[in-house]
Amino acid sequence: MEFFNSALGKNITFVRPAYFIISGFIGIPHVKYYYIFLCFVYIFSVLANTAVMAVICLDPNLRTPKYIIVFNLAFTDLFSNSALVPKVLDVFLFNHHHIPYNDCLTFLFFCYTCLSMQSLNLVALSYDRLIAISYPLQYRVKITHRFMFSVVASSWLSVVTVILIVTGLLTRLSFCQSVVIRSYFCDHGQLYRLACNDITPNFIIAYLLPALILWFPLIFILCTYLSISYALSKVTTVQGRVKALKTCTAHLSLVAIYFIPILVIFTFGMNIHPNARIINLSLSSVFPPTLNPIIYVLQTQEIKESVRKLLKIRKKSGIKVKKVIIK
């Protein structure tokens, strides 16, 4: 962190507060019911994403390149809600609004890392669907285990590097006035606006970051589905088109759940009440990691068959144990 301080402000006297105050949900009527709702959402998210990861690990038929990304998505979703929801409940439900300076930056780092990885996972899945539908004969050659592992590793490395830079740039700021963050977590935009020295680098990266983690991935996904639509237009039978589209339904649902709430908030956010905006933002953060495993279990035939198979095996083993006990 000293690198940022020396490179961007040698003669600046930094004022680093001992803590920040997170005040996002303060003043919202009946908000404690929302905290209880978040608690149930978090418990369900942990159980559902853990179950998806367990099914992928236990079933050899799911150890394919595509499910490396699905496993990484479930892991990211689990990590995302675990990084956000328990801390939000601790801050607001138990009135621990004061968060130490270093803890706040750590909180920001993990939240933004998870948000970015969710987006890149959707990009990887869209590329997988593009190759599967547009170049089916080359799928096994292009989409290999090694390729998918390299995609996952490079995604994590890129995201961690970018978010470390974002976090590091915050350490050069001097907070000599307010320390109240009007959000439900240590939000980058809220933090750098509290500073009383030059915020130009933070202002620039605040505009670059959404482009890197939201708009470019969304544009890529839209382009892949345009290519998929073109490939499907060449399929002569309606049955063939429907069959190909069915393999995309789960991914399209994930894309809609992740991007549509964010687009709505960015588009109409200035016209709604600040309290409503905070609630909507928090819901858009916790809902995708909760709904993703449900969508994959309900809309992906391979996972549904795997779950049935595992349940049958468990049931048969239970019957055998009972027979042994009777004997």
Say whether pLDDT at 136 is over 60. yes
CATH assignment of the domain containing 249: 1.20.1070.10
Provide mean pLDDT across the span 147-168: 95
pLDDT of residue 322: 47
pLDDT digits (tens, 9 = 90+) for 102-117: 999 999 999 999 989 9
Name the residue range of residue 271's domain: 2-326
pLDDT of residue 32: 82
Backbone φ and ψ for 100, nearest 5 degrees, come out as: -55, 155
DSSP 292-321: HHHHHHHH-HHHHHHHHHHHHHHHHHHHHH
pLDDT digits (tens, 9 = 90+) for 253-299: 889 989 988 887 776 656 667 677 788 888 888 989 998 888 877 77
Provide mean pLDDT across the span 200-217: 90
Q: What is the mean pLDDT of the chain?
A: 84
pLDDT of residue 324: 47
Highest mean pLDDT (candidates 35-39, 145-149, 319-323): 145-149
pLDDT digits (tens, 9 = 90+) for 41-53: 999 999 999 999 9
Burial class (CB in 10 A: 0-12, 13-18, 19+), 2: exposed
- Tally the domains of the chain: 1
| Tokens at 60, concatenated | 């050899």
Burial class (CB in 10 A: 0-12, 13-18, 19+), 46: middle
Say whether pLDDT at 7 is over 50. no
pLDDT of residue 235: 77
- Using pLDDT thresholds of 50, 70 and 90, give the confidence band for residue 227: very high
SS3 assignment, position 23: coil
CA 32 to CA 267: how far, in whole Å? 28
pLDDT digits (tens, 9 = 90+) for 231-259: 888 877 778 788 878 888 888 888 998 99
CA 277 to CA 123: how far, in whole Å? 27
Look up tokens 């858009």; give the residue. 284
Say whether pLDDT at 10 is over 60. no
Question: Letter for the amino acid at 30?
Answer: H
Q: Is pLDDT larger for residue 213 or for residue 265? A: 213
| Tokens at 24, concatenated | 């996002």
CA 143 to CA 138: how far, in whole Å? 8
Give the dihedral of Cα atoms 132, 135, 140, 146; nearest 10 deg. Answer: -80
Say whether pLDDT at 3 is over 50. no
Cα distances (Å, whole numbers) of residue 107 to 21, 101, 171, 210: 13, 10, 14, 18
Say whether pLDDT at 321 is over 50. no
